[in-house]
Amino acid sequence: MKNSSRFRSVAAAVIAAAGVSFAGSAYADGGTISFSVYKAAFFVGGSGGEGTLTFHGHRYPVSVGGISGGLAFGASKTYFHGTVRHIRRARDVTGVYGAAGGGGALGKGAQMIVMTNEKGAQLELSGKQVGLQVNADLSGIAITVK
């Protein structure tokens, strides 16, 4: 009898937690983001740029910065555009996004990436890269909504 009561309590707690989780994601919203990033690397690299987040009809300036490490060299500029999902307010986009990848571009190239920050904001980006860049590295970018 005692185990049956505990089981019901645990089951109720799990169902309640799942309900809160689904309710939280049900109210999440999305927007669009565009930014350009300059990147330079010789094994260790750095990147920086700026752009705009559009959310609920308002435009918010964003700044982008990051580091990378691994096999990487060259310099490039990439123009990213895409969607932001799972946010409740514009500031949810602020955070650190990590990625592991590889690729290269000589002249012009294309990129596509999906990243998530610690708040659950998900970026689905496509981009056009210009410059000479070869990489097989781990990288992270920090996006700040101003």
- The domains of the chain, with CATH numbers, are 29-145 (2.40.128)
d(CA 122, CA 95): 11
Buried b vs exposed e over 43-61: b needs ≥16 C-beta within 10 Å? Answer: eebebebebebebeeeebe
- Token pair, residue 96, equals 């650190």
Question: Per-residue pLDDT for the chain (146 aa), expressed as one digit of tens each?
Answer: 455 555 455 444 445 444 444 444 456 899 999 999 998 888 788 899 999 999 999 999 999 998 877 777 788 898 999 999 999 999 999 999 976 555 555 556 667 788 899 999 999 998 888 887 776 655 678 999 99
> In what helix (H) or strand (E) does residue 2 lie, and over which residues does it extend?
helix 2-26
pTM: 0.72
